[in-house]
Amino acid sequence: MASERGVECAGELPAPSDPDLVERARAARQALGDRAFVLGHHYQRDEVIDFADVTGDSFKLAREAAARPEAEYIVFCGVHFMAESADILTSDEQQVILPDMAAGCSMADMAEINQVEEAWDVLTDAGVADRTVPVTYMNSTAAIKAFTGRHGGTVCTSSNAEVALRWAFEKSGGVDGTGKVLFMPDQHLGRNTAVEKLGMSLDDCVVFDPRKPDGGLTREQLDAARMILWRGHCSVHGRFSVRNVEQVREAVPGVTVMVHPECTNEVVGAADLVGSTEFIIKALDAAEPGSSWAIGTELNLVRRLANAHPDKSIHYLDSTVCFCSTMNRIDLPHLVWALESLVAGRVVNQIVVDADDAHWARVALDQMLALPGL
């Protein structure tokens, strides 16, 4: 707690992989050549990013995979739902590999398909389902994306959530009408977009808790609500606090606080700038030399940005919150094992989405692609 604020945190990751392992990765990557395409999410370890052909957020990487039809293997260094999206968007001839099957996403796991189907039954019984359009964040399982597609909804990213919500509300009378959105699985992104971008009030938002009977909501609450938010959150972004913002402002005069919209509404309100991972990267690229920044997002990315911008003072917003533990399950030993297995003709940890789910998830993803400005 008393450690110096910066882009490090107490308790380093294990030492970088030894030179022999690095050389094995290089040899396997060279042997595969254009047969393999390696994707690296922004939150990955540096030792993994070093071998990525492309880096980006989850949707950018899935689109990049779809744009490489010549690659037999898509090696996705990210988490499970991202690899699912890549499998949905790529051809049947391509195989998507996740180096560690334990690399999941706690947020995506907070919305299980049986829970969502039961929630829809609750909305139906309350007489509001016919006025409700589902919108699911990219950070969701293929089954949830498929549910969204079956019910006429769309997928969104943190970059286009506002556009997606406006589209959804237009299906039922517009933002000022009486229609509703069921937003899954991140309540904070849904709330922040509705309040900060669409001009709604916090009173327009209710939280559906799948662990409680009827989501913990009355029929009257569901009838009055405009945004029905799933009770889910990011385990990293959800831990930033207003106190973190206050502390960094005291410690770093003139600092600009920039956070991801997966943070709580209180933190978003206390920050100077709010935006997606790509927004954060572009903002720092354009920032004046000598400027000071405190960033509220995953630490691997913040450290990488600090190293890329030595002319700027870049701080991590909370010195006690470290890495995304599930994202960090992809390490160099797992990547080497996956690549060497492919060289030997063995496909390991292939991600295959059920054909029906893949169809309806693609419907929802295609609807997102049709939204303006993406």
Query: E strand or H helix at 117, and its extent?
Result: helix 113-125
C-alpha to C-alpha distances, 143 to 13, 155, 355, 364, nearest whole angstrom: 33, 12, 11, 11
pLDDT at 12 over 70: no
Query: E strand or H helix at 268, and its extent?
Result: helix 265-270
Please work out, in degrees rounded to the nearest 5, the angle formed at the alpha carbon of residue 20 by the alpha carbons of 16 and 24.
105
For residue 229, the number of C-alpha atoms closer than 13 Å in the C-beta half-sphere is 21
- 172-215 pLDDT tens trace: 889 999 999 999 999 999 999 999 999 999 999 999 999 999 99
- Closest to 342 in 3D by CA, of 34, 17, 86: 34
- Residues of the chain with pLDDT > 90, as a percent, come to 77
For residue 154, the number of C-alpha atoms closer than 13 Å in the C-beta half-sphere is 22
Residue 60 has a pLDDT of: 86
Residue 104 has a pLDDT of: 86
Which of 45-54, 213-222, 269-278, 320-329 is the least confident region? 320-329
Per-residue pLDDT band at 10 (split at 50, 70, 90): very low
Tokens 């559906």, residue?
208
Per-residue pLDDT band at 321 (split at 50, 70, 90): low
C-alpha to C-alpha distances, 110 to 62, 126, 230, 266, nearest whole angstrom: 22, 23, 9, 22
- 324-336 pLDDT tens trace: 877 878 989 889 9
Residue 326 has a pLDDT of: 79
Which of 20-24, 213-217, 285-289 is the least confident region? 20-24
- 105-157 pLDDT tens trace: 889 999 999 999 999 999 999 999 999 999 999 999 999 999 999 999 999 99
pLDDT at 311 over 90: yes
CA distance 352 to 84: 7
Residue 59 has a pLDDT of: 80
Please state, rounded to an integer, the average pLDDT across all residues of the chain. Answer: 91
- The more confident residue out of 281 and 328 is 281
- 221-276 pLDDT tens trace: 999 999 999 999 998 899 899 999 999 999 999 999 999 999 999 999 999 999 99
DSSP 276-300: -HHHHHHHHHHSPTT-EEEEES-HH
Query: E strand or H helix at 95, and its extent?
Result: strand 95-97
CA distance 259 to 309: 18
- Closest to 192 in 3D by CA, of 259, 132, 116, 289: 259
Per-residue pLDDT band at 4 (split at 50, 70, 90): very low
Residue 5 has a pLDDT of: 37
Question: Average pLDDT, stretch 45-65?
Answer: 89
pTM of the model: 0.89
Question: Average pLDDT, stretch 345-374?
Answer: 92
Residue 191 has a pLDDT of: 98
For residue 26, the number of C-alpha atoms closer than 13 Å in the C-beta half-sphere is 8
Per-residue pLDDT band at 322 (split at 50, 70, 90): low
CA distance 62 to 346: 23
